[in-house]
């Protein structure tokens, strides 16, 4: 049973470009969480999704950031018009149901030049 | 207000010794869970141990144990018989279970270095 998969593992973008981060949850998991880790800091919650629904987006920046988890395929975290301050590690986690333990992926390290 | 506080930015321990990493938390929920994760230099987040607020016994997982003192709102991680491979960043996290308990709140971490 493969763990949570994230790709790409490393992503470099220039200011103003778009970044798309993908997360495939563990088999049988329908709940996905995105966290951001700025350099030298702990992880901060961004958004919680269930298939086709955003359940909690209280940690998402108001502009430029969006997330989806379609019926088929991976969850996508999309950052439009990236700025240097978006440089961070973005972690995805999944769980089989609400309130259950979350299993983390290896993260995507985004660098904005 | 910070919900998870880790006051030790860095710790050193000698190989084979025990080490305690501190974590205090703040919540008004009666039902919550506490977690410790290890993040080695490769960057992945590795789950170590979990303690539920209603668990009467302190959690243990191999060389890891959680010293849970509910009245003091502390959940310190104890690593026994430290190994060189334990050198990593360690994060304490909490999930408040009221309302579904969907998100983890993390502390700022403690960088542990195990020395020969």
DSSP letters spanning B52-116? ETT-SSPPEETTEEEEEETTTTEEEEEE-S--GGG-EEEEEEEEE-GGG----EE---EEEEEE-
* Mean pLDDT along residues B39-65: 93
CA distance A100 to chain B (A): 8
Which residue on chain A is closest to B103 by alpha carbon?
Answer: A45
Q: Distance (Å, rounded) from C-alpha B53 to C-alpha B63?
A: 21
Chains A, B: CB pairs < 8 Å:
57
The pLDDT value given to residue B12: 96
What tens digit of pLDDT does each residue of B21-48 get?
999 999 988 889 999 999 999 989 999 9
User: Which residue, among B102, B105, B106, B109, would best test binding to A if mutated, counting the most A CBs under 10 Å from its CB?
Assistant: B102
Q: Distance (Å, rounded) from C-alpha B4 to C-alpha B109?
A: 10
In this predicted model, which residue has the larger pLDDT, A101 or A66? Answer: A66
Q: Which residues of B lie inside 8 Å of A (Cβ-Cβ)? A: 4, 37, 43-45, 47, 50, 91, 93, 95, 97, 100-109
Confidence of residue B101 (pLDDT cuts 50, 70, 90): low
Asked whether the beta carbons of residue A44 and residue B107 sit closer than 8 angstroms, the reply is: no
The pLDDT value given to residue B114: 97
In this predicted model, which residue has the larger pLDDT, B86 or A62? Answer: B86
Give the nearest partner residue to A89 out of B43, B50, B104, using CB atoms. Answer: B43
The pLDDT value given to residue A33: 95
Asked whether the beta carbons of residue A48 and residue B37 sit closer than 8 angstroms, the reply is: no
Whether B115 has a pLDDT exceeding 70, the answer reads yes
Mean residue pLDDT of chain A comes to 93
Give the torsion sign (CA, B79, B82, B86, B88).
positive
């Amino acid at each position: 049973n493969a763990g949570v998969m994230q790709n790409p593992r490393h992503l470099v973008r220039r200011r103003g470009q778009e970044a798309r981060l993908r997360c495939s949850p563990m088999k049988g998991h329908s709940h996905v969480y995105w966290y951001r880790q700025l350099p030298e800091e702990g992880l901060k919650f961004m958004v919680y999704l269930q298939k086709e629904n955003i359940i909690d987006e209280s940690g998402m920046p108001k502009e430029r950031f969006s997330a989806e988890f379609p019926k088929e395929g991976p969850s996508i975290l999309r950052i439009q018009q990236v700025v240097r301050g978006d440089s961070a590690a973005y972690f995805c986690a999944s769980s089989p149901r609400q309130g259950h333990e979350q299993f983390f992926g290896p993260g995507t390290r985004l660098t904005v030049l | 207000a910070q919900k998870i506080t880790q006051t030790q930015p860095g710790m050193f321990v000698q190989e084979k010794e025990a080490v305690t990493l501190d974590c205090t938390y703040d919540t008004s929920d009666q039902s919550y869970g506490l977690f410790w994760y290890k993040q080695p230099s490769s960057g992945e987040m590795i789950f170590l141990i979990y303690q539920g607020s209603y668990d009467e016994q302190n959690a243990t997982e191999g060389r890891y144990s959680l010293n849970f003192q509910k009245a003091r709102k502390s959940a310190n991680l104890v690593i026994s018989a430290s190994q060189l491979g334990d050198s990593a960043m360690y994060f304490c996290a909490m999930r408040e279970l009221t309302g579904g308990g969907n998100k983890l709140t993390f502390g700022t971490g403690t960088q542990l270095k195990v020395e020969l």
